[in-house]
Amino acid sequence: MNKKSKYFIGITIFLISSVLILIVYLNMNESIDKKELNEKKAFLKVTALPDLAISTEAMYIRHRTLSDTFSLLKESPELREYFPSTYTYSHSHILNNTPSKVLNEK
């Protein structure tokens, strides 16, 4: 075996073992432990509402599983198209919001 293959085998072993070490480390420190799980369960027992608080603007995500039947239509990321809001055309972006009276007086 020459130097290069020794290096290669060394690097491979190092990488594999570091993946394993990382997995063990994460398992010990980052996974949900029993105490945390009990706290979560206690919270959910009180509120009895499902779903995670990862997005709060759109109602279909927060308590999406219980949300309004139609909120999904207008807000969902997998937006089901409904005429004509989002289909192929939108309102003019050069539309002037200033009243014409104001423009004319200038």
Cβ-based nearer residue to another protein, 65 or 88: 65
Q: Examine residue 81 and tell whether it contacts another protein (CB under 8 A).
A: no
Q: Examine residue 13 and tell whether it contacts another protein (CB under 8 A).
A: no
Q: Examine residue 82 and tell whether it contacts another protein (CB under 8 A).
A: no
Q: Examine residue 34 and tell whether it contacts another protein (CB under 8 A).
A: no
User: Do the beta carbons of residue 84 and residue 91 sit within 8 Å?
Assistant: no
Compute the half-sphere exposure of residue 20: CA atoms within 13 Å on the CB side of its CA.
Answer: 6
User: Do the beta carbons of residue 60 and residue 67 sit within 8 Å?
Assistant: yes
Longest dimension (CA), the chain: 90
Stretch that binds another protein, among 54-62, 86-94, 95-103 (CB under 8 A): 54-62
Q: Examine residue 90 and tell whether it contacts another protein (CB under 8 A).
A: no
The DSSP secondary structure of 54-66, one letter per residue, reads T--SSTTTTTGGG
Q: Examine residue 57 and tell whether it contacts another protein (CB under 8 A).
A: yes
Cα–Cα distance list, 17 to 8, 28, 34 (Å)? 14, 16, 28
Binding site for another protein (CB under 8 A): 1-2, 4-5, 8, 11-12, 15-16, 18-19, 22-23, 26-27, 29-32, 35-59, 61-66, 68-70, 77-78
